[in-house]
Chain A
Amino acid sequence: MEYIIKIKKEKRNLFKDKWVWKMAYRDARKNFSRLFLFISSIIIGIAALVSINSFNINLQRSINEQAKDLLGADLVVNANTRFEEDLQTIFDSIPGQQATEATTASMAMFMTSTPGTRLIRIVALEGDFPFYGDLVTSPEGAYEVMKTGPYAMVDENLASHYDVSSEDSIRLGNMVFKVAGEVSKIPGGGGIQATFTPSVYISMDYLDSTGLVQFGSRVSYKQYFKIDSEEAVETAVSQVKPLVKKYGHSSETVEDRKNNLGEGFENLYRFFNLLAFVALILGCIGVASSVHIYVREKREMVAVMRCIGTSGWQAFNIFFVQTVILGIIGSILGVLLGLGIQFALPPLLKEFIPLDLDLQIAWSAVLEAIILGLMISLLFSVLPLVAVRFVPPLSVLRTNYEPLRTFSKVRVLVIVLIILFPLAFATYQSGSFMVGGAFFGALLLAFGCLALVANLLMKAVKKFFPRNWSFIWRQSLANLFRPNNQTLVLVVVIGLGAFLIATLNIVQNSLLNQVEFVGRENQSNTILFDIQPQQKEGVIRLTRDNDLPVQQVVPIITCRLSQVAGKTISEIQNDTTDAIPNWAITREYRVTYRDTLTASETMQQGAVQHISNDSIYVTISSGMQENLEVDVGDSIIFDIQGVPVTTYIGGVRDVEWPKDPPNFIFVFPTGVLEEAPQIFVLTTRIDEKVEANSYQRELVSLFPNVSLIDLRLVLATIDEFFDKVSFIIQFMALFSIITGLVVLAGAVINSKYLRLKENVLLRTIGAVKKQIWGMTILEYGYLGFFAAFTGISLSVISGWALSIYFFEVVFLPDIMSLLLIWGGVMVLTILVGWFNTRDVISRSPLEVLRKEG
């Protein structure tokens, strides 16, 4: 008999080869738990992406829809002084409705069931503001009542704090106002501003009667316009713009508000994008790592299938179909989780976003995420899956048989695509190749640093190996550098997680410690301002009578700039080559005079302010020196209440602004401004709350126009603010951390197969379970220890850079928190390691030896 056969050369088509699909199903039904790591990596990565992208889309849509409601008008002109006559004339010529608002800070005395005094913002309104958006009050008609007489409306937080009811009264300056109601929503109000400076609203008719608007008082004004058409708005803007610029005021249209809000959220977008990027990249590592483990487990099965006639591509396709389908399922689950999280975000961000977030499902984000999920599951699973094609059938007979071949064009192509993927994704997500490239670069840098440290660590452990340690300690430490070690992968993955957490922690602590440090160290914690000259002695006496120290009494003179370095303000404004910001040359400056430096000042250049040869040498703060582009010796002419005063820059001061306020941009020498109209600021220190309350009550009664800032209250508010911010940051960082843990579990499972035979051999030659446990825990302990150490060390560098260069605060990491993170990561690594290797340790040695033999 002749056995002549024709080999079928046609390639099996995945879509026509039903057997592959059947086998993919059969294999997956008993194996679903094995693919848990794979699917969870996709779910978390995609959930992060969907929640963040969908939230961003909704936020942008809300900004576009609500910008007009938030502004409350079509055009607003803002000023820190009363509007000049020529500007007022232009206002009068603009058609449509107008409203005016004046805002000033003042003490309010609440004559309620919970009486008290506190610094608030008085908002005096005239006209029918708001023209757009809602002014929501309780009771409903409170605003109308307020317009009719000496009535006040109170922000709802303030009202609830002092138990304000409609029967109560509030004293503002010399006047007592009856409470008309509470304000729960007003265009331009609410948000974080309401937390720092809660408002009390009155009619403009009664602002002067309060006596709060005196010489030196800081009052800002807004003129609101309701204009019928967009063309008319443009005309109005072109009419007011020249004078607005000339006087250093500002204007805002609905379009400006949209842009401003968009810019305001830019950092939030960037931060969220960074988190999405990190979570997704970790997810990709998770996918590759889990499929790698899966393929390793399937090696024997593939060898059997190859023996009975399955082709390499058929074997590959079985697992490829599984990963693609699971990728789609994972993406859909990730989308659902992401949308769920998106709906959880607004309550967290409520206080930071002055918008009513109307959340909808952003289908573009959903579609993007599913496509991306599919791409990731394809790209990052193909690389480990290619190995399936090269599983030799002979490994059925010999487990350690080498793969058929290792080079494959598919593998090379996939590696190239995998390298390009993060760059392409970051570019797409950020919408800019530069930003995307920066993200990609930063990721490479972080990975590179971690990989470098991991390699150095292995070399160092090998070189300085403690040969006199006991066997268990030595054996587990040696696992860090022996063949098939997982040190590099684990240090990179765990280190990256620790790096992210620790960096956030350092930045948060530096910001908080800065505030706390200043609060603790300052000689004064209470500042009284707007003291008129005739009130000065009275306020000092009152302070001393209350047994409180008078730390400083500082004169303040308001002035403007007329000329800078020989150029008039209009010359600077018209010089297009000049980069001096308009606000810096048109703003009102509050200056003081003295011949010494305070504790918060140090000279950077030149000399302390002085008079020499009848010339006046002032000093300037270093920040403003950069803005005004002036140097020591340059002249500056001030307009002090209409009197020009020529001075020269005598020196530049570095000022620690939060320390011992008040601090000043310009300081004059004595002997120049003593006769100029001035007001005073007094600083003192109050340590007891009871003292503070009685002192404040007396102050408001005797000197109603004098305001008091309690720095402890400010400190508490800032503290509360940071607590909320850090909660949001930690909530979002959870994505990266959870994905990191999944990847960590993958890496640990990956390593357990390498340790399996060794543990069994050790047990065969007499090691007891306890010793094996000891070695396992120590090995993962070492890995956690070194990985967290590396991540935290790098985070100290990044935290330092962020604190100094980005947030411009003193770098003050909390060592205890960092130690806790270090310990926490170590414990977590040990737990994950123990959980994933427990079955290896409990397996019978004979079972493994037979299999391997």
Chain B
Amino acid sequence: MSDILVVENLKKSFTTGDKTLTVLDDVSFSVPEGASISIVGPSGSGKTTLLGLCAGLDVSTGGSVSLVGIKLNALSEDDRAYVRNQYVGFIFQNFQLLPTLTALENVTVPLELRGEKQYKKKALDLLDRVGLSDRAYHYPSQLSGGEQQRVAMARAFISSPKILFADEPTGNLDEETANRVTELLFDINRSEGTTLVLVTHNLDLAAHTERILQLKGGKLISDQKSMRAV
């Protein structure tokens, strides 16, 4: 199976005045298609920065990221946006739904952007799958946190992404809701065969993935199979 994400000697640093702060230093790993990995580590270890670079939200200072065979460093921001639209799905800690769109419209946006015409039925099916068919025409402000995250999941999966990046997907949810969302996330992920890259503090959540990458001080200090995989 080919690698969908290849990270080689990745480096990211910020310069403020005459000081340079290195957030990521010489990080390398690869993720095969259909696999699920977690990136864990303490605050400030560079998890979110790594996620941003892998997903093409930012560009590195050194090294390279190859996503679905495309070297992201060589692309402009708009070209990276096109790659994201075609191959990438996102789930964020703060849900990040578009506040002026209904739940259904939030889900359909990625397909509309691709220029597809038949998206409504697929979106309604996905909303039904996450248990929100009766909330399709509600605005985000009318939904609970758990409901918003489920809409975000439907939006992430609607374009059948090759790879899904999730940043603390349960971080803003209570335990019970978090468990339901986790279950749903991995359930859909398995059935869709999507590659999953998860960033979290939560080791229980990380344990659901096949591999766990541990970061500390911007360096990758371990890359292990999770207990579940074992």
User: Which residues on A are within 8 Å of B, measured CB to CB?
Assistant: 1-5, 7-8, 19, 22-23, 26-31, 300-301, 304-314, 392-394, 396-398, 404, 850-851
Contacts and interface: CB of A to CB of B under 8 A. Distances in A.
B17 interface: no
B70 A3 contact: yes
Interface string B126-156: 0000000000000100000000000000010
B155 to A, nearest CB: 7
Contacts of B57: 307, 392-394, 396-397
Interface in B18-50: 33, 48
Interface in B95-112: 96-101, 105, 109-110, 112
B81 A304 contact: no
Contacts of B94: 850-851
Contacts of B4: 3
A31 to B, nearest CB: 6
Contact of B58 (A30, A304, A392): A392
B75 interface: yes
Given A26-B105, A307-B90, A309-B85, A398 B48 contact: yes
With most chain B CB atoms within 10 A of its CB, the pick from A7, A305, A309 is A309
B78 interface: yes
B62 interface: no
Given A5-B70, A7-B79, A309-B81, 13 more contacts: A5-B86, A30-B139, A31-B100, A307-B55, A308-B109, A308-B110, A309-B82, A309-B114, A311-B82, A393-B57, A393-B81, A396-B90, A397-B92
A5 B4 CA distance: 13
Given A4-B69, A30-B139, A398-B48, A304 B112 contact: no
B58 to A, nearest CB: 5
Contacts, number: 107
B55 to A, nearest CB: 8
Contacts of B155: 308
Interface residues of B, number: 45
A19 B69 contact: no
A2 B162 CA distance: 12
Nearest to B1: A1
7 contacts: A2-B2, A7-B75, A7-B82, A301-B98, A308-B85, A308-B109, A309-B82
Nearest to A398: B48
Nearest to A306: B81
Contacts of A392: 57-58
Given A301-B99, A307-B90, A404-B77, A850 B172 contact: yes
Contacts of A29: 100
Nearest to B58: A394
A5 B48 contact: no
B230 interface: no
B92 A308 contact: no
Nearest to B109: A308
A851 B171 CA distance: 12
Given A4-B69, A301-B98, A312 B77 contact: yes
A723 B102 CA distance: 57
Interface string B5-27: 00000000000000000000000
B82 A397 contact: no
B48 A397 contact: yes
Contact of A308 (B2, B84, B167): B84
B52 A397 contact: yes
B184 interface: no
B51 interface: yes
6 pairs of A and B residues whose beta carbons are closest in the complex: A309-B85, A3-B69, A3-B68, A30-B100, A311-B78, A394-B57
Interface of B: 1-2, 4, 33, 48, 51-52, 55, 57-58, 68-70, 75, 77-79, 81-87, 90, 92, 94, 96-101, 105, 109-110, 112-115, 139, 155, 162, 167, 172
A301 B92 CA distance: 13
A396 B79 CA distance: 18
A305 B86 contact: no
A357 to B, nearest CB: 47
Overall SS of chain A's interface: helix
A112 to B, nearest CB: 74
Nearest to B99: A301
A406 B112 CA distance: 29
Nearest to B80: A393
Contacts of B68: 3, 5
A304 B85 CA distance: 12
B33 A5 contact: no
With most chain B CB atoms within 10 A of its CB, the pick from A31, A306, A308, A314 is A308
Contacts of A22: 112
Contacts of B1: 1
A301 B84 CA distance: 16
Given A2-B2, A301-B100, A396-B92, A309 B113 contact: yes
With most chain A CB atoms within 10 A of its CB, the pick from B84, B105, B115 is B84
Contacts of A304: 96-98
A308 B101 contact: no
A318 to B, nearest CB: 10
B196 to A, nearest CB: 17
Contacts of A851: 94
Contacts of A7: 75, 79, 82-83
B109 to A, nearest CB: 6
Contact of B81 (A23, A27, A311): A311
B104 to A, nearest CB: 11
Contacts of A311: 78, 81-82
A36 B85 CA distance: 33
Nearest to B68: A3
Contacts of A308: 84-85, 90, 109-110, 113, 155
Nearest to B51: A397
Contact of A307 (B70, B84, B87, B114): B84
A482 B114 CA distance: 46
A309 B155 CA distance: 12
A208 B144 CA distance: 98
B110 A309 contact: yes
Contacts of B92: 396-397
Nearest to A397: B48
Contacts of B109: 23, 305, 308
Contact of B101 (A19, A26, A307, A404): A26
A312 B100 contact: no
A228 B86 CA distance: 85
A22 B139 CA distance: 17
Nearest to A850: B172
A79 to B, nearest CB: 77
A398 B52 CA distance: 10
B87 to A, nearest CB: 8
Contacts of B79: 7
B169 to A, nearest CB: 13
A4 B68 CA distance: 7
Contacts of B139: 30
Contact of B98 (A305, A312, A313): A305
A31 B99 CA distance: 10
Nearest to A390: B77
Contacts of B69: 2-5
B112 to A, nearest CB: 5
A30 B105 CA distance: 13
A313 B57 CA distance: 17
Nearest to B105: A26
A427 B85 CA distance: 49
B96 A26 contact: no
A3 B71 CA distance: 11
B96 A19 contact: no
Contacts of A300: 96
A22 B98 CA distance: 14
Given A5-B68, A26-B100, A397 B167 contact: yes
A309 B84 CA distance: 5
Contacts of B33: 1
A289 to B, nearest CB: 22
A310 B77 CA distance: 10
